[in-house]
Amino acid sequence: MNRDLELIKEIQAIDAQIMESERRLVLAPKRKEELERELRELYEKVETEKRIIGELERERRRKERDLDAERERIKKHESRLYEVKTNKEYQALLKEIETAKDTTDKMEEEILILMERIEELRRDYQSSLEYLRSREKEIEMEKKRLEQELSSMDKTMKALQDRKSSLLREVPEQLKNTYVLLLERRGGMAVANVKDGVCLGCNINLPPQLFIEATKKEEILTCPNCSRILYYIGE
Ligand SMILES: [Zn+2]
């Protein structure tokens, strides 16, 4: 087993963790914003539903007042039936009462439809409210977790960097330079795993002899295609 190869492999693992930490450092504030926006939208939805219910309730009360007034009018007409002198007047009054009754029927129907609509909206509002309450808790917990992660990130990063520096000091200068250059040019992956005769860095089949040499892990070998340092991970 080549000691330099093992060192490089370990450093690469640390670099992968550093990259992941950096990614999270960028993503965490975005995720927090996303959660806050979601919560804001849920609040707005609940508020809108509540407002619409209020408007419809006012409309229902208005219609009920109109209906009461109309019924009052009918009563007055009905009491006048006994006072009229001519048949013509009597018929005219009857006609008016009939028309007014049609109107109240229509009003009652409208109020009923309105009440059903309000009932339906109340159910929607109730489930929106319950959903908001449960999401509120979940979002609060996730935000707390993100904040903890962010606040411990500095320490985590420092520990990773320290470990990387101390390992790099043990790597021969030339190999160190090669590694750093590859890391920069190959998207943070300087070491490629090798499996089933394939370089997993660029997915080409390695020449059979090179693959056999790589499995021995006795020397630093590189991929003829992507130049990454090869590390055999077993079958
Ligand atoms: Zn390759």
Report yes or no on whether pTM surpasses 0.85. no
Same domain, yes or no: 67 and 157: yes
Report the CATH number that the domain containing residue 56 is assigned in CATH: 1.10.287.1490
Question: In terms of residue numbers, what domain contains 20?
Answer: 3-171
| Ligand 1 centroid to residue 180 C-alpha, Å | 17
| Ligand 1 centroid to residue 204 C-alpha, Å | 6
Instruction: Look at 23-32, 55-64, 195-204 and tell me which has the smallest mean pLDDT.
Output: 23-32
Q: Are 114 and 55 in contact (CB under 8 A)?
A: no
Q: What is the pLDDT of residues 107-157, one digit of tens each?
A: 999 999 999 999 999 999 999 999 999 999 999 999 999 999 889 998 999
Q: Could you give phi then psi for residue 233, rounded to 5 degrees?
A: -110, 10
How far apart CA 209 and CA 197 sit, in angstroms, is 10
Domain count, the chain: 2
Which of 151, 171, 191 is the endpoint of a domain? 171
Rg, C-alpha atoms of the chain: 40
Structure tokens at 23: 């990614």
Same domain, yes or no: 204 and 106: no
Residues, beta carbon < 5 Å, ion ligand 1: 199, 201-202, 223, 225-226
How far apart CA 213 and CA 193 sit, in angstroms, is 14
Q: Residue 4: what pLDDT? A: 96
